[in-house]
Amino acid sequence: MGKRTLLVFIMFTFLSFAHAQVGSSLFGFEGRVYLEEDKGKKVNISLYENNIKVSSYHTNYTGKFVLDIERNKHYTVIYEKEGYLAKSIIIKTHAKPNEAANVEVFKFDVILDKKESGVNYSQFDFPVTMIEFKKLLGQFDYNKEYTANMLIFHNKLLEKKINLAENK
């Protein structure tokens, strides 16, 4: 009877583990932060849920970051380092368990630009991109319309930086 009990326990543990993986309430996001072309070591990353700060930490010496965040939430992630323009992104994790059973880790990189004097950065008060679950893909992806609009703002900023550099 001891062997049988052990076998049942092992099977129950395996089934519980498999169920936890498929029905997991966490989604993974990871990538690297770059300070223009250099590795973004010790960049501060703050995670906000509905505008309430829930965690904060620094990237490692290679600029790597990992986020494991909950399903059915609305997050803002802010990347900051002194002397560089902070960037934020939105991550929406709204997905039903049966739609998102085998979601892969979503990988992306963040590049922080150096601040230049004389440049108005107010347009970057808004997140630069939005990542959300795409039911048809069964994966996370960028909200292309939002991201395209923010790219227009970013390109205008780069033009101003180039003009400032040429006029020095």
User: pLDDT by residue for the chain (168 residues), tens digit each?
Assistant: 444 433 333 333 333 333 333 346 899 999 999 998 788 999 999 999 999 999 999 999 999 999 999 999 999 999 999 999 999 999 999 998 888 878 999 999 999 989 888 777 777 788 999 999 999 999 999 999 999 988 887 777 667 666 665 666
In whole angstroms, what separates CA 39 from the centre of its chain?
Answer: 17
CATH code: domain of residue 147: 2.60.40.1120
Query: Tell me, what's the pLDDT at 115?
Result: 87
Query: Tell me, what's the pLDDT at 97?
Result: 82
* Structural domains in the chain (count): 1
Domain limits at 128?
26-166
* Within a domain: 20: no
* Within a domain: 56: yes
